[in-house]
Amino acid sequence: MKAAIVERPGELVVRDVPVPEVGEYGVLCRLLYGATCTGTDRHIIAGEMHFPIPYPCVLGHESVGVAVEVGPRVRHFRPGDLITRVGAPPDADGRYGIAWGGYAEYGLAQDHRAMREDGLPPERWHGSRVNQRVPDGIAPATATMIITWRETFSYITRLGVGAGHAVLVIGSGGNALAFAAHAHNLGAGPVVMAGQPGREPNAKAVGADALFDYRDADPAGGIAEAYPDGFDYLIDAVGKRGQVDRVLPTLKPGGAIGIYGVDDFHHVAINPRRARGSFTFIEKGYDEEEAHARVVGFVQAGVLEASAWFDSKRAYPLEAIKEAFDALARRETVKALIRLSSGLD
């Protein structure tokens, strides 16, 4: 089967790798679509991830696949199920590793519930909880967004964002738009973004009240003039050094900050004296499984739609994945949709 592999930093290729073997609790899936993630994929390609990457590696973590074969101990998945976060496993002979392994023609899910019920230790099944069934009626291309939406929804609810809270989001990429959408759907307001002016239509589409140009000499001044009461939460979806400080004066005394982005992971710093008063930095992470049902409900209700992130009619074939990342670099799309199997159009 074909898979997109980062051979070494700066070198992304598509080449043949073995089709995965199923195993007792495994579910072999034909992968349908994957969505790019600028927070991880582009850092891995560039060799700039904040943790070690086993180059060469199969890239991608926002992929969905349809089950075609199940192992003998699988009880909670069946052929035909659409499953999230499916990926190719690392090569048994050590010829390549994985950076989640989602950009491939076939991948494996695991029946984590059966493994837990059968008494297997948590280290065997805990990481597979991201493999969740997508209900009928949700298009596979849309289902790729469930991964981003789950991560960010878990994160924003752990921060404590809810109805009536004023929220400022730094960034206008895929994760930032997700935070704005979730804040809006949770009843927060106003929801404001500091990002690229060209993304204003996307911001408005997900429910943001306004988008300010993060490149302004004093973005905090313009935001504070429009929203003088300030914000209860400041969410940094980019994680670039200095960006929080530029809007910190808009945070209310007693407000909270969450830094989700990883651009300058080891070098982020906050100058607290730029704030109006004391504030809390919150680091509670996220858990995709805990957010799956709520996110699926939002999709079914029509309040989370992939169209603000990508055009589902413009899917790049796996063989053209480099073109997809070139389009991202030119900012032609927020995320790019990758068609992993043939015959889907």
Kindly report, residue by residue over 229-248, the tens digit of the pLDDT. Answer: 999 999 999 999 999 999 99
The pTM score is: 0.96
Could you tell me if residue 307 is inside a domain? no
Q: How many domains does the chain have?
A: 2
Based on the domain organization, do 98 and 206 belong to the same domain? no
- What confidence score (pLDDT) does residue 342 get? 74
C-alpha pair distances (Å), 163 with each of 160, 166, 191, 215, 226: 10, 9, 11, 30, 21
Based on the domain organization, do 46 and 10 belong to the same domain? yes
- What confidence score (pLDDT) does residue 109 get? 98
| CA distance linking residue 335 with residue 221, whole number of Å | 30
Whether the per-residue pLDDT at 343 is higher than 70: the answer is: no
Whether the per-residue pLDDT at 53 is higher than 70: the answer is: yes
Whether the per-residue pLDDT at 135 is higher than 60: the answer is: yes
- Indicate which CATH number applies to the domain containing 266: 3.40.50.720
| CA distance linking residue 310 with residue 288, whole number of Å | 21
Based on the domain organization, do 188 and 109 belong to the same domain? no
Based on the domain organization, do 7 and 131 belong to the same domain? yes
Whether the per-residue pLDDT at 345 is higher than 70: the answer is: no
- What confidence score (pLDDT) does residue 38 get? 84
Q: Specify which residues 167 forms β-bridges with.
A: 191, 233
Whether the per-residue pLDDT at 211 is higher than 60: the answer is: yes
- What confidence score (pLDDT) does residue 344 get? 62
- What confidence score (pLDDT) does residue 282 get? 97
- What confidence score (pLDDT) does residue 130 get? 98
The gap from C-alpha 319 to its chain's centroid, in whole angstroms, comes to 22
| CA distance linking residue 278 with residue 256, whole number of Å | 9
Could you tell me if residue 302 is inside a domain? no
Q: Which of 240, 198, 196, 199 is nearest to 219 (CA)?
A: 196
Whether the per-residue pLDDT at 35 is higher than 60: the answer is: yes
Contact 228, 221 (CB under 8 A): no
Tell me the residue range of the domain where 187 lies: 148-281
- Indicate which CATH number applies to the domain containing 101: 3.90.180.10
Based on the domain organization, do 128 and 181 belong to the same domain? no
